[in-house]
Chain A
């Protein structure tokens, strides 16, 4: 079966660093996406990894290990506006996205 697992909720402090983990099982694999979704809004694209390693984009970085079926999203210098849900999605052999339920990130001052 196909499955994406990520923690339901995490709490972090403004200015700190947080790592959101995601493990995936897909039939075939064509990359791993991370999206951000603020409450009541649409998901917006953050990152895409298809090769092993770290992709850095400003305060956000995403890591992929294909052999371990594992990815993480790293958020640095947390700001209150980073309070949102972070969705992990794997692209399967048909290029359809299999979505995790999302990790709700709560930022405290």
Chain B
């Protein structure tokens, strides 16, 4: 079944550790996104990529980095995790970049930083 996969499903992490959240899509979509979702707040964009080889900063990029080496993969790295990064992280993709287009979401990664 085509779609987006994320790994891990959940993770408990000690503060200061490095962590990479994985995201893979098989729909050949051009654009990919990383969001965090916290209780009482809307989804907030961390980083995005309009096409392989390019990335951009979203609303809350500090403490996170991304890469887009190919069309399918868009990993999110926390270089040194802090408790405020405890959240549910969603990866999403859309066929078009540079235009309003439906975003398709992965199942999410629940991250707890202690």
A interface residues, Cβ below 8 angstroms from B: 4, 30-31, 33, 41-45, 48, 50, 87, 89, 91, 95-102
Contact = CB atoms under 8 A, between A and B. Distances in A.
Q: Is the interface of B mostly helix, strand, loop or mixed?
A: loop
Q: Most chain-B CB neighbours within 10 Å: which of A4, A33, A95? A: A95
B15 interface: no
B96 to A, nearest CB: 9
Contacts of A100: 42
B108 A42 contact: yes
11 contacts: A42-B107, A87-B43, A89-B43, A95-B98, A95-B101, A96-B45, A96-B58, A97-B103, A98-B42, A99-B42, A99-B43
A65 B72 CA distance: 37
Q: Most chain-B CB neighbours within 10 Å: which of A30, A43, A48, A50? A: A43
Interface of B: 40-45, 48, 58, 90, 97-108
Give 9 nearest A-B pairs by CB, closest first: A99-B42, A42-B105, A99-B43, A91-B100, A31-B100, A30-B100, A45-B102, A101-B42, A100-B42
Nearest to A40: B108
Contacts, number: 48
A85 to B, nearest CB: 10
Contacts of B99: 30, 95
Given A96-B45, A99-B43, A101-B40, A44 B100 contact: no
A24 to B, nearest CB: 11
